[in-house]
Amino acid sequence: GCRLSPAETVTFRHNDPDHLDRRLARLEGRAECKLIVVEGLYSMLGDTAPIREFVEVKEKHGAWLLVDEAHSAGIYGEHGRGVAEAQGVDKGVDFIVGTFSKSLAGTGGFAVSDHPDFELLRLTSKPYMFAASPTPSSMASVSEALRQIETRPELRTRIWENAERLHAGLSAAGFDICSEVGPVIAVRMPDEQSVVHAWNRLIEEGVYVNLAVPPGTPGGVCLLRCSVSAAHTPEQIDEVIRRFTKVASGIAPANLPAA
């Protein structure tokens, strides 16, 4: 989206409100409209953004804040509205975008705002204008998924219990976990050869995780990316931990845990 727009794009260090503050200060007097774009939950490492601090910075500089809650909607917050709600600052976010393909198990996406000119996006967004409308069946599925999120908070509770169990188990086994507890648990591996070998061995053991390697990863790290859901049982989580440890025993580097 930034590349498609005619706007000047200025980057700042990942999850660094102080650096963002300094960047915006340098734009004073020459940028009439400033839009800060961040993600609530970063899908590769599983880390969350300090939305509260970003809200403070955007208010200081008269900017707008857009948060992509694609990987956090349905899971974070009392009502499942995302990381901004979980941090108690959802009212300070100007634009929220997300997808129907994660927690809602559908297709398509959304953009919402109470900005008075927000409807202009329908006329100026080429991806929106030249895309087919979602099918009625897809929207019915998404609507039902939203209803489940609203009426069954125990599903969120179960996801967090599973996430805590997997995170604690892998950490106790000696694996290098990239972030705090969350629905995305990324295990850092020492190199590409090791991560590909481990990924193939896990598949043989009946455990499917996402393989993530450079250049598609931040900082060139090699990852085994796990996603937990409310459908997983505690027994399944424990078995995943056991099979991770079993697979690690066949990999040479000393910084991997032994079986």
Q: What is the C-alpha separation between 142 and 238, in angstroms, rounded? A: 31
Burial class (CB in 10 A: 0-12, 13-18, 19+), 259: exposed
Q: What is the C-alpha separation between 222 and 129, in angstroms, rounded? A: 38
Structure tokens that stand for 178 in this block: 């990239």
Across-strand partners of 184? 227
Across-strand partners of 246? none
DSSP E strand boundaries for 59-214: 64-68, 95-99, 109-113, 176-177, 184-189, 210-212
Q: What is the C-alpha separation between 195 and 212, in angstroms, rounded? A: 8
Q: Are 253 and 240 in contact (CB under 8 A)?
A: no
List the catalytic residue out of 34, 43, 58, 232.
Answer: 43
Residue 102 known to be catalytic = yes
List the catalytic residue out of 102, 167, 194, 227.
Answer: 102
Residue 60 known to be catalytic = no
* CA-closest candidate to residue 212, choices 72, 38, 42, 74: 42
List the catalytic residue out of 34, 58, 71, 232.
Answer: 71
Q: What is the C-alpha separation between 50 and 111, in angstroms, rounded? A: 21
CA atoms lying within 13 Å on the CB side of residue 180:
5
Residue 71 known to be catalytic = yes
Cα Rg of the chain, angstroms? 20
Could you list the active site residues?
A: 43, 71, 102
